[in-house]
Amino acid sequence: GQNIDQPTEMTATEGAIVQINCTYQTSGFNGLFWYQQHAGEAPTFLSYNVLDGLEEKGRFSSFLSRSKGYSYLLLKELQMKDSASYLCAVLDSNYQLIWGAGTKLIIKP
């Protein structure tokens, strides 16, 4: 079966750095996405990795290792508005997105 694993909840302090991990087992791989979802709102696109390595976009970076079936999302200089759920999703061999259950990130002052 196909499986995406990420921690259910994480807590971090404003101004700090947090890393959210995602491991996956899917039938084929055509890229990995990270989405941000604030409570009661729709998911919004953060990043896309299809090759190994680190992609940096402002305060957010995403890393991929295809051989390990592993990705992480790194958030720097945390702000209160970063409190949200972060969803990891893999595009499988049929170009369908397989979603993790999401990681709820709580930012404390």
Partner 1 sequence: IAGITQAPTSQILAAGRRMTLRCTQDMRHNAMYWYRQDLGLGLRLIHYSNTAGTTGKGEVPDGYSVSRANTDDFPLTLASAVPSQTSVYFCASSDGTGDGYTFGSGTRLTVV
Under a CB-based contact definition with an 8 Å cutoff, are residues 25 and 3 in contact? yes
Under a CB-based contact definition with an 8 Å cutoff, are residues 105 and 7 in contact? no
CB 31 to partner 1: min, Å: 6
The contact set with partner 1 (CB under 8 A) reads: 4, 8, 31, 33, 35, 41-45, 48, 50, 87, 89, 95-97, 99-102
CB 42 to partner 1: min, Å: 4
Nearer to partner 1 (CB atom), residue 17 or residue 101: 101
- Nearest alpha carbon to residue 62 among 48, 45, 43, 76: 48
